[in-house]
Structure 1
Amino acid sequence: MKLILDLDTGIDDAFALAYALASPEVELIAVTCTYGNVAVDDAVRNTRALLDLFGRPDVPVYAGPSPAGWEVAEVSAFIHGAHGLGEVSLPAPAGGSAGDAVDFLVAAVREHEDLVIVPTGPSTSIAAALEDEYFASHARLVMMGGALTVPGNVRPWAEANVWQDPEATDRVFRQAADVTMIGLDVTLRTLLTHSEVARWRAVGTRAGEVLAELAEYYIRAYETTAPHLGGCGLHDPLAVAVALDPSLVTCLSLPMQVDLAEETRGRTIGDLSRVAPQVKVAVGVDAEKFLGAFMERLTRLAANT
């Protein structure tokens, strides 16, 4: 299976990238970058720096569009750090973007039949790609975003990725033929704690040290914003894991929409006015199985880098 990640590369995106790189059953053919946790340029830089760290500078990185006047939200800067990777300092990567993300996504779906795209930020690039009818009917998307049965994390009804471009997510729900939504319903049941992080430091490599520093920063942020959880949510890596192994989650199939009215703007909810397309919405997760795979793969990646 071939994989494209569409990342707004903050801390959990870094874990998602590491999970993909540590999974021998998939070929990561590229990363496209969007805004969200950081600006697009920072997402490109962070992604390329992480690819260098993990010994995969061959993976191309593409830059997506960003709304005019967009700025990083204060809560995003707090959770992920000013530049997206907490307090970790990585050498500046040698190159930049390989080209336009939207053009690449459209071309990649036409070229590869066994391709899955995992968007983990606002759906802006994916919505733009949906202008191509072949992309809309053939792209397989496993997206991190939304909340159906639980409250949001930036508003009582809205999750952060959807909140930043609700029109784009609404278009994805209405036009894309194959979408799985990995939202807060399941990602907040997959928590990383200090005890797991200690395993990465014990590896004794620079990659292990970076993973540990990222996780510790992320956990500290969660101790302020969501102390009741007892750890940090593994939002983006769960979406990657489900792309590889759909049996990790239990889904409801529903026609979905995003509320665009100001009162509940960004709410992801069923659409009773239509019957198709159906979005597979994850409402249950085998957290133990996922966390076991997550720790095994990232620890192995750290040890072998």
Structure 2
Amino acid sequence: MNEASRPVPRNPSTAPVSLLVDCDTGIDDALALAYLAGQRHVELVAVTATPGNVDADQVARNTLAVLELCGRGDVPVAIGARRPLEVPLVTTPETHGPQGIGYAELPPPRRAPEERDAVGLWIDAARARPGELTALVTAPLTNFALALRAEPRLPELFAGVVLMGGAYNHQGNTTPTAEWNTHVDPHAAAEVFAAFAGQPVDRLPIVCALETTERIEMRPEHVAALAAAAGCAEPELLRPEDPEGTRSRASRPLVRHVSDMLRFYFEFHRLYDQGYVAHIHDVFAAAVAAGTARCATRAASVHVETAPGRLRGTTVADFRGLWGEPPSARIVSANHPAEVFSDVVRSLGALAAARG
């Protein structure tokens, strides 16, 4: 094992951080946005929409609605690409619901998306604040790839980059070998990793892949703890024996909507024999970007398979330097789910209580 591939620990911090977020707001993206809205040390500079779980327009509507629900209607939201770079768009109504947010019925957003394009927004923000902004992408990497085409200096302009995607030493969740985000737009993922190859190790993107994000397994008891932390009038019980589609009656609107999102996600995971649980991948990536999650990373050169066939979207990491190529990512190799959930319950509970 070379020095770059050794696990490097990252300890939690509440130092101020300014985030540019790109998402395809499904259930776990929505929870990630709510989590970030409850972090006082986090500045949400802008949130941009990439098609994935739903189409780009629905992503923007969901994003605006979630931000307004969390009292962050001031955050700019912009739409970028409307399809992957080279392959047709595939969405996931079976996973996240027709609107992308499960059973939740959020109030329609009062604002419309920004008129400006998401890619231009990212580039202008990075140029205006060099070395200050961290990019968090919980979606397919389409917008990020387009931004890198237009401004190849982004790896030097960003303070850091955190990505949710890929599966390296783990079964895929879309095909046997591919994770959802990289499968939706493998060409964009390949371009992003190529753009970072050869950067100093501390500037490589931190990648939260399935081997660690599927450990962030939310259960009904976490929802009950969230409701208690929010001061809900009654216990919030999501029981496997409840009829499918049962709606929450929680007295706190944020808890009620989160519960309705998660019930759909629990039912989906159960349908695929994973239990009455929900893998909230994007919340972990958000916590890493916010600096609040303790984890370890290993540097590697990443290959993304783009050729048609069964392996399209598969990600392969060379931790040992066998390809003779410089690292292009730091892949999270260890995390601490109990700590993440403790923070999520505290943060979302406090935000829900404050919102009334």
TM-score after normalising by structure 1: 0.94
Larger Rg: 2
- State the partner residue of 2:12: none
Counterpart code for 1:128: L
Other structure's SS at 2:299 match? strand
Contact 1:11 1:215 in 2 (8 A): yes
- Give the paired residue count: 302
Distance 1:246 1:298 in 2: 14
Deviation at residue 15 of structure 1 after TM alignment: 0.5
Structure with greater helix percent: 1
Q: Which deviates the most, 211-220 or 185-194? A: 211-220
- State the partner residue of 1:221: 268
- State the partner residue of 2:244: none
Supply the RMSD in Å over aligned alpha carbons. Answer: 1.7
- State the partner residue of 2:312: 265
Q: 1:275 to 1:110 in 2, by over 3 A?
A: same
Contact 1:146 1:267 in 2 (8 A): yes
Deviation at residue 24 of structure 1 after TM alignment: 1.0
Matches within 5 A, 1:277-296: 277-296=327-346
- State the partner residue of 1:238: 284
Which has the bigger relative contact order, CA under 8 A and spacing at least 6? 2
Distance 2:88 2:107 in 1: 27
- State the partner residue of 1:254: 300
Q: Render the CA deviation track for 1:73-111: whole Å, top value 9, x for unaligned.
A: 3xx201110011112112211222212111111111112
- State the partner residue of 2:105: 89
- State the partner residue of 1:79: 95
Contact 2:89 2:184 in 1 (8 A): no
**Over 6 Å off, 4+ runs:** none
Contact 1:110 1:134 in 2 (8 A): no
2:326 to 276, 283, 301: 276
The alignment-based identity, stated in percent, is 32
Other structure's SS at 2:60 match? helix
Contact 1:157 1:264 in 2 (8 A): yes
Q: 1:291 to 1:200 in 2, by over 3 A?
A: closer
Distance 1:48 1:117 in 2: 19
Counterpart code for 2:71: G
Counterpart check, 1:61 vs 2:77: yes
Contact 2:213 2:279 in 1 (8 A): yes
Contact 1:201 1:212 in 2 (8 A): no
Other structure's SS at 2:78 match? strand
Q: Render the CA deviation track for 1:122-168: whole Å, top value 9, x for unaligned.
A: 10000011121221333321000000110100101100000011011
Counterpart check, 1:191 vs 2:217: yes
Counterpart code for 1:253: A
Q: Which runs of 5+ in 2 are unaligned?
A: 1-16, 233-250
Counterpart check, 1:129 vs 2:136: no
- State the partner residue of 1:163: 183
Q: Render the CA deviation track for 1:196-246: whole Å, top value 9, x for unaligned.
A: 112344523111111111112211111112425x51111001001011227
Q: Render the CA deviation track for 1:44-88: whole Å, top value 9, x for unaligned.
A: 001111111111111110101022894543xx2011100111121
Q: Which runs of 5+ in 1 are unaligned?
A: none
